């Protein structure tokens, strides 16, 4: 019994000696085994569809604004369609008369004239078909001077683009689309006339009258908080319903001094200016009236 008891004690001592060593070995291996595996590629960011739509809208607005402030090296203030059509017609007429006077004998010059005159005439007529004439402008010498002194770069660019011949896009088409003033599947409002005056506060006033058969006046008012940011800086927007029957709306951009409010205003029938209310605010006002 003593021998068995001594053997048992010896084995227990050995076991107690070995256990801490095993524990250290296991602890040594745990960090390597429990380390969080790293991904070879980062997870794609989670996009909110509403946030993405807002980002796309902001990017579109910034792209259109960049076009409004881009300066072009020169501008053509005459009708290219008239020039090409007139030159093609003149060349074709000359070739026909020369051919008839020479008893049907055509030389090399007349042959080349026919070759170039007909495409020029057709191309000129195509340009005339896609041509948009300049928008009528009502101005005064005092307003022109103030435009050069206080007009912003965007105001001057809008006026310059609208008062020259254009081909393809309508006047102010891209800005109106960027501001969501063109209903889906329908054309944007058409710029019919412009006027420049001096505001009561001495600012430069650029008014644009649009024919808007597809854009309700309520939509113009809902977009009002974005006008100053889009056409700015240093401008305030004013809205005026010119004619309900003819669907005419005037959007004005007025320069303001530093520190002045850029809150959009609406000119009502009696000529006074009032803050533009949202649809909910108008309904609440009508209910309490």
DSSP 289: -
Q: Which residue has the higher pLDDT, 135 or 277?
A: 135
Give the total residue count for the chain.
289
Residue 210 has pLDDT above 60, yes or no: yes
| Greatest mean pLDDT among 33-37, 77-81, 220-224 | 220-224
pLDDT of 3: 46
pLDDT of 62: 58
pLDDT of 49: 52
**Residue 88 burial class via C-beta count within 10 angstroms: exposed 0-12, middle 13-18, buried 19 and up:** buried
Q: What pTM, to 2 d.p., does this model score? A: 0.69
Location of structure tokens 């369609």: 81
pLDDT of 116: 84
pLDDT, tens digit, 9 for 90 and up, residues 155-174: 999 999 899 888 777 888 88
Computed over every residue of the chain, the mean pLDDT equals 78
CA R_g for the chain: 38
Kindly state the average pLDDT of the residues 202-211. Answer: 96
List the structure tokens of 159.
Answer: 């006026």
Q: Which residue has the higher pLDDT, 94 or 206?
A: 206
Q: Which residue has the higher pLDDT, 93 or 255?
A: 255
**Residue 116 burial class via C-beta count within 10 angstroms: exposed 0-12, middle 13-18, buried 19 and up:** middle
Per-residue confidence at 13, pLDDT binned at 50, 70, 90? low
Per-residue confidence at 135, pLDDT binned at 50, 70, 90? very high
Among 72-86, 120-134, 216-230, the range scoring the smallest mean pLDDT is: 72-86
Residue 25 has pLDDT above 50, yes or no: no
Strand, coil or helix: 158: helix
Kindly state the average pLDDT of the residues 78-93. Answer: 85
Per-residue confidence at 34, pLDDT binned at 50, 70, 90? very low
Could you tell me if 75 and 160 are in contact, meaning their C-beta atoms sit under 8 angstroms apart?
yes
pLDDT of 83: 87
């Amino acid at each position: 019994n003593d021998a068995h008891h001594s053997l048992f004690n010896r084995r227990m001592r050995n076991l107690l000696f070995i256990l801490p060593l095993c524990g250290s070995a296991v602890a040594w291996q745990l960090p390597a085994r429990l380390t969080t595996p790293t991904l070879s590629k980062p997870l794609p960011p989670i996009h909110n569809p509403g946030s993405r739509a807002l980002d796309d809208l902001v990017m579109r607005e910034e792209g259109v604004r960049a076009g409004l402030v881009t300066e072009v090296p020169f501008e053509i203030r005459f009708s290219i369609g008239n020039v090409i059509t007139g030159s093609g017609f003149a060349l074709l007429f000359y070739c026909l008369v020369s051919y008839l006077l020479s008893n049907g004998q055509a030389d090399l010059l007349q042959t080349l004239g026919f070759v170039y005159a007909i495409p020029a005439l057709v191309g000129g007529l195509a340009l005339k078909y896609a041509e948009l004439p300049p928008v009528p402008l009502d101005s005064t010498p005092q307003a022109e001077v103030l435009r050069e002194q206080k007009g912003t770069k965007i105001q001057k660019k809008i006026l310059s683009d609208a008062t020259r011949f254009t081909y393809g896009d309508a006047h102010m088409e891209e800005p109106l689309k960027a501001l969501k003033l063109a209903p889906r599947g329908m054309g944007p409002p058409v710029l019919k006339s412009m006027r420049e005056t001096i505001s009561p506060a001495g600012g430069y006033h650029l008014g644009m009258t649009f024919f808007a058969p597809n854009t309700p006046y309520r939509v113009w008012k809902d977009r009002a908080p974005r006008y100053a940011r889009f056409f700015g800086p240093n401008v305030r927007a004013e809205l005026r319903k010119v004619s309900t029957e003819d669907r005419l709306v005037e959007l004005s951009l007025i320069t303001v001094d530093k520190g002045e409010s850029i809150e959009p205003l609406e000119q009502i029938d009696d000529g006074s200016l009032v803050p533009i209310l949202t649809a909910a605010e108008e309904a609440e006002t009508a209910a309490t009236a």
